[in-house]
Structure 1
Amino acid sequence: MTPADLDLRQYAVQGLVQQAGFLALDYFNKSESLGVTMKGAQDWLTVADGAVEDFLRQRLAVMFPQDAIIGEEGGGEASDAVWIIDPIDGTSNFARGDRNWCISIGFLLNGVPEIGILSAPALGEIYVGRKGRGATLNGEAIKVSGQTDIKRAYVELGWSTRIPAERYVAMIGRGYAAGASVKRGGSGALGLAHVANGRTEAYAELHINAWDVAAGVVIAAEAGAYVSDFFSGDGIAKGNPILCCTPGLRRELEQVTQIGSQQAND
């Protein structure tokens, strides 16, 4: 695949994700239309999740029929060229009227994240990352905070029902003991984006799925963040831990999260 092929995908899908954002925002602003159900404990689903994913799948299939598609709701199989979609990341926020949610779409070529696009329409923000070309928020270049003192760091620790609560609580405890200010925002994709633009110093989660991070890992890495090797092993199909942080805090945060050379799911 040539750079021109990647250019075409990037710019076409930027427009596509913006359109999907309008669709999602229309549902968000009409709470009676959400049709909220539960896939499991604290695992929310709305009509908007399916509608947005269907919209993106249909358009991508027409524009790039040779590319594979994996979505949170519709599944799919990986190939050498694959789009990975989360139609609404932060669905529990979305369903409750909290604006901290986004549409996430990433493109992997031969297993390497190449393009990441996040639209947070309720916040008026669009993030774009392209491997080797930097990252932007609403068209302006972004970068990590550069903080090196964990006692001045704002760290987001994502929670997953797939991990015993005791391990998550222990990680939070280590974060506070190290002197960090700890938060949880409810959207892993935006958690990575907020490291990229310097709003936080780190995002970590002991297990997260590919559709939550496929866009954010490109955006964060291109903004100068350290990002653990999420797509190692069977990360696309089964997920992995993730640690994303401003580089000067990597070693301390590997100790706090126990993600890094010693993977948290070993």
Structure 2
Amino acid sequence: MTDTDPAATAGTVADRARFAKELAQNAGALARSYFLRRSELDIETKRSAHDLVSEADRAVERMIRTAIAARFPEDALVGEEDGCRAGRSGFTWIIDPIDGTAPFLAGMPGWCVSIGLVDAQGPLVGAIEVPMLAESYLALRGQGATLNDRPIRVAQARTLADGLVGIGANDRISNRSFGTFLAEFGAAGGAWVRYGSGALMLAWVAAGRLIAYLEPRMNVWDCIAAHCLIEEAGGRVRPFDLDEGLMIPAPVLGASPAVFDTLQRLGRLEEDTFWVPQAISV
């Protein structure tokens, strides 16, 4: 987060929301151009064999960073590939150029561009572009959430049996703890799905397609834009620490209000002794 200097703040929040929507669409078009020639891309491995980055991720993030720096030079910026840039306006952009790189590289449509904006009060603007599904999500605090310019609301689920829950996991947790959670979740009547991108599944919570999304460890750039969408669509989210914990993976839960507490309990998201780290062989 950044210190606020009102005199240095160029443009209004509404300006930034309009800009975020257009930028996400432009970034999505660039990402799609790489997707259509993905067999030619240079690909690198990060933490594990399933944690990938390609030249497409880096090119799309550079495009987004350049556009933000030109339009709002006093705003701070956090990106998945190129880290943090300090600011002094009180606004921080948090971006994931391609969330779902693995399905992107495998030729599947379950990936998106995620652009979030936060201030001292939390998520302020969320824009998610899903190029291969022709979906554009946008939310602005206090102004609601939309999909392709139509208002969206979370599902009116009362129990876990009332819909599908998106669930994510990665190499930061053990297979044993994840398996235990899934067994208890199933015993409670839940049914779950996994579709490529955590940011996209969180957006689907906002759109009422899923009744919740839970992931024990997630980065801020994967979730913060969708947090704004879910809150503006009438849902609940587990707050992400946007200060000291900004760069630390944390539990993520976004849900229809009536099932939030149930999933919080089943997920044991506060119990670090439950979600023990997965040993990664090099």
- TM tier, smaller: over 0.9
Q: Secondary structure at the match of 1:40?
A: coil
1:145 paired with 2:152, answer no
Q: Distance in 2 between matches of 1:86 and 1:47?
A: 14
Counterpart in 1 of 2:16? 9
Counterpart in 2 of 1:156? 166
Cα deviations by residue, 1:143-181 (Å, 9 ceiling, x for unpaired)? 011111212331111112112222222221121111111
Q: Which moved more, 1:152-161 or 1:30-39?
A: 30-39
Cα deviations by residue, 1:209-259 (Å, 9 ceiling, x for unpaired)? 000012000001111111011236633121310111111112221222113
Counterpart in 1 of 2:67? 59
C-alpha displacement of 1:4: 6.2
Asked if structure 2 preserves the Cα contact closer than 8 Å seen for 1:36 and 1:45, the reply is: yes
The 3 A distance-change label for structure 1 pair 32 and 217 is: same
Asked if structure 1 preserves the Cα contact closer than 8 Å seen for 2:44 and 2:53, the reply is: yes
| TM-score of the two chains, using structure 1 as the length reference | 0.94
1:173 paired with 2:183, answer yes
Q: Distance in 2 between matches of 1:265 and 1:188?
A: 21
Q: CA RMSD in A?
A: 1.8
Q: Distance in 2 between matches of 1:31 and 1:106?
A: 26
Q: Which residue type is aligned with residue 12 of structure 2?
A: D
Q: Distance in 2 between matches of 1:197 and 1:98?
A: 21
Q: Distance in 2 between matches of 1:21 and 1:213?
A: 17
Q: Following superposition of structure 1 onto structure 2, how do residues 153-232 of structure 1 map, counting pairs within 5 Å?
A: 153-231=163-241
The 3 A distance-change label for structure 1 pair 204 and 3 is: farther
Cα deviations by residue, 1:119-139 (Å, 9 ceiling, x for unpaired)? 001110010011111000000
Q: Distance in 2 between matches of 1:185 and 1:170?
A: 21
Asked if structure 2 preserves the Cα contact closer than 8 Å seen for 1:82 and 1:107, the reply is: yes
- Unaligned runs of 5+ residues in structure 2 are 1-5, 274-282
1:25 paired with 2:35, answer no
1:253 paired with 2:263, answer yes
Q: Distance in 1 between matches of 2:117 and 2:243?
A: 18
The 3 A distance-change label for structure 1 pair 66 and 194 is: same
Counterpart in 2 of 1:84? 94
Q: Distance in 2 between matches of 1:90 and 1:55?
A: 18
**Quick one: percent identity of the two aligned structures?**
36
Q: Distance in 2 between matches of 1:39 and 1:4?
A: 37
Q: Secondary structure at the match of 2:246?
A: helix
The 3 A distance-change label for structure 1 pair 73 and 132 is: same
Asked if structure 2 preserves the Cα contact closer than 8 Å seen for 1:158 and 1:186, the reply is: no
- Unaligned runs of 5+ residues in structure 1 are none
| TM-score of the two chains, using structure 2 as the length reference | 0.88
Q: Which moved more, 1:213-222 or 1:226-235?
A: 226-235
The 3 A distance-change label for structure 1 pair 171 and 128 is: same
Q: Distance in 2 between matches of 1:232 and 1:46?
A: 27
Counterpart in 2 of 1:44? 52
